[in-house]
Amino acid sequence: MAKEFKFPDIGEGITEGEIVRWLVQEGDAVEEDQTLAEVETDKAVVEIPSPYAGTVLKLHFKEKDLIQVGQTMVTIGEKGEAVDETARPVEETAQEMPGEETAPSVVGEIKDISTEIRDTLATPKVRRLALQMGVDIKGILGSGPGGRITEEDIQGASAPALPKKPAVKVKSKYDFYGTLERIRLHGIRRATARKMAESVSTAAHVTHFDEADVTGLAGIRDKMKADAAGKDIKLTYLPFVVRAVVKALEMHPMLNAALDDEEQEIIVKKYYNIGIAVDVPDGLIVPVIKFADQKSLFELAEEIRTLAEAAKNRTLDLADLKGGTFSITNVGMLGGEYATPIINYPEVAILATMKIADRVRVREGEIRIVKTLPLCLSFDHRVIDGAEAARFSNDLVSFLESPEKLLD
């Protein structure tokens, strides 16, 4: 008997994905747990295994299509078995769970009015009529005062609809000034756009700028590079920054927190999981170094390299992307003096490290050329005041300017 496999809920609030590549074709024999497809979510590229053994009867989506959790992804059954195209349309999104009662479809006792239509302009009587007639009230344009839905609207919506010609959507390749290129917003870029918009529209962003004299840190790093190379480790400045950030967070725990808007509580994290923003061709991925306070400089360097490579190759596990308490984005490797990084919500702070360079500064009354590291700390002003952000930054600078405190 043919079995329909629906795109599963893989956790982390993921509701949809884009089919990157089918690894099977219709007519192929598959084994249980054999990978059917690679699906790109807003977290990572996930391999979807088959829950059944049998023959692939139908692939319900094409590559590059978006699929929602609960939509039928593939039908598997016996070779030559027909697929019932009408029994369960691809558009359905709800999975039936064993033992659950289905909603009443005939006139009878209506226990509850669906929470999904509570905000629609309609009287309780009209709502009950919609439920009894199986009409989705959300999709109706009311003809009553102020857009209120009437009984006539419900009755009209329940009548068989005449087939309509599909609307033709024209996308121009030109405008008044010249040629246009249209790039589809999808995958990581789409997820990045959504995440950034959520952060900016929720958190109260403020950015504090500072600078650390890392002349001494540069000297210590140069001395340690040979030892690191002998262990096949590339020692950058970033492990030192992570160490300094963790030590500053230990002194200022409010920056290692999250705001629970629903419960109106500030949740202070008693562990230090540091997210490192990685630039990939189609957006940003932020893998997380777990328990960064418990790792040596060389361990941090190796984990940063491993996570960055996995992010660029899209081989990260979902577990690598969750649990962060504070994020760092290293803009300096590309250049620049200042930036205003967007907080990796629901975290409450993020640090952008800019380009380390020789700069002219006054030291002990004399003009000198020193190596400095510009620091840009964005924080959520709902949780952190400017004074606390400045104190955190002062201590961070102090650790970076006293690099011996960062050694194992």
The catalytic site residues sit at 381
CB contact at 8 A, 80 and 69: no
How many Å apart are CA 221 and CA 258, to the nearest integer? 33
3-state secondary structure of 161: coil
DSSP-derived letter for residue 203 is: S
CA 404, CA 389: separation in Å to the nearest integer?
Answer: 24
Of 271, 277, 280, which is closest to residue 323 (Cα–Cα)? 271
C-alpha dihedral, 333 to 358 to 386 to 407, nearest 10°: 70
What's the rounded Cα separation, in Å, for the pair 61 and 48? Answer: 14
Beta bridge partners of 360: 369
CA 154 to CA 38: how far, in whole Å?
42
Phi-psi region of 33 (alpha: psi -120 to 50; beta: other; left: phi over 0): left
Is 75 in contact with 39 (CB distance < 8 Å)? no
Task: Calculate the CA 109 to chain-centre distance.
Answer: 42
Q: Which amino acid is at 291?
A: F
Would you state the structure tokens that stand for residue 113, as one six-digit string? 């009015």
CA distance 171 to 360: 53
Instruction: Specify burial of residue 175 (Cβ count, 10 A radius: 0-12, 13-18, 19+).
Output: exposed
Distance set, CA 28 to CA 23, 55, 75, 305 (Å): 10, 6, 12, 39
Report the alpha-carbon angle 303-307-312, nearest 5.
Answer: 150
DSSP letter (8 states) at residue 214: -
